[in-house]
Chain A
Amino acid sequence: MLTSDELQALWLTVRLAAVVTTILLLIGTPIAWWLARTRCRWKGPIAAIVALPLVLPPSVLGFYLLLVMGPHGPIGQLTEALGLGRLPFTFWGLVVASVFYSLPFMVQPLQTAFESIGERPLEVAATLRASPLDAFFTVAVPLALPGFLTASVLTFAHTVGEFGVVLMIGGNLPGVTRVASVQIYDHVEAFEYASAHRLSAVMLVFAFLVLLALYAWRPGARKGA
């Protein structure tokens, strides 16, 4: 049903989304935790910066990333100095761009989840001899589990559907940066509507199943809380 190019694009998409989600779990969790609990006056500015990718059109964001990661940009010069080469037109370039672009989709649900836990369970943990880090892993994380799930699914889905940024910094390399959304765009632009419909259908079914699984799981998670 799908050509090998399309399968390759789908597999690349899933791989990109999985890597981005994993990285964002590691980066987004401490940011969300800090935002949920700090009374620091930098909270507002930091929260705003996290939300910025929501404001910029993806292709504009992609253009700036192209500048910043290019040979004259600060990140480009950094990666070259580190011997990593340049990020545009590489899989890891897409990863970096998508991490930035999907950041609010990870941080905001997590922040809400952490905020809804409140101080009390952590105070209880402290009086039961748990250090702050211990309490984070044994109390905050389990209690925020539905939030982690929501954030991960949103991030994953958002990265799968990501297009503008990938288009700008990907260079459309088969197997490296040609993800499913770009492939669909190519089909549409080349008037290959049947192929576009097929691939879109696969993406939609995939997204539907993921979201269905999420919403089916959630009531169960609620009951325990």
Chain B
Amino acid sequence: MSMIEFQDVQKYYGDFHALHDINLTIDAGETVVLIGPSGSGKSTLIRTINGLETIQEGKLIVNGQDLAERKTDMNRIRKNVGMVFQHFNLYANKTILENIMLAPRLVLHRPEDENKKFAMDLLDRVGLADQAPKLPAQLSGGQQQRIAIARSLAMKPKALLFDEPTSALDPEMIDDVLNVMKNIARDSSMTMLVVTHEMGFAREVANRVVFMADGRILEDDSKEKFFDGQPSNERARQFLSKIITH
């Protein structure tokens, strides 16, 4: 069953054609890695899925609902689709524990003791249970990103979107974050779309790799074909050779 489906989607910023004839289907439980040069529209694409960006043409069906329809309730989509940002976006005025507990309390009305127990379990899972009473600014970038992942998981979403989750991190922090993401990806019930240049992550847990440039999807391959065979698109091949030699 498809969790996210783009059908001939177009997006414009004024005259600029940001997303061009996007057709992409992501099945429930799949992990898809989205790569491409900067300015290729990866972030824009991923941000349309939870309505942070709107589309002008085409259909975008998320969890059975068409986002282009006016009556679609975005808040309901966002309950089921979590997002992790490049710059974490943790609530600066709330403690780590409150960051995780706030949305389940306000949106899902989860009972307080259950909410707290689940939040502490999640903190345990990302290895940061001892940081619960601190403020986000007191944590390193890698720690903040793991908290951001825990915050998304607290809503028990069906899908998670990652928008360059390790790009703003120091190199020695990246592995901790990737390990948390790999564990989520191995849980077969979670649908994941990840914008990243971490090819090790893609090789290990992705089902598919999608390559974008200039607002178009140029390549959509199984992981095996993308890494071990050859992408059929020339630009995708060039891009791959550049990031792999790094």
Bound pair (A, B): no
Question: Interface on B for A, CB 8 Å cutoff?
Answer: none
Question: Interface on A for B, CB 8 Å cutoff?
Answer: none
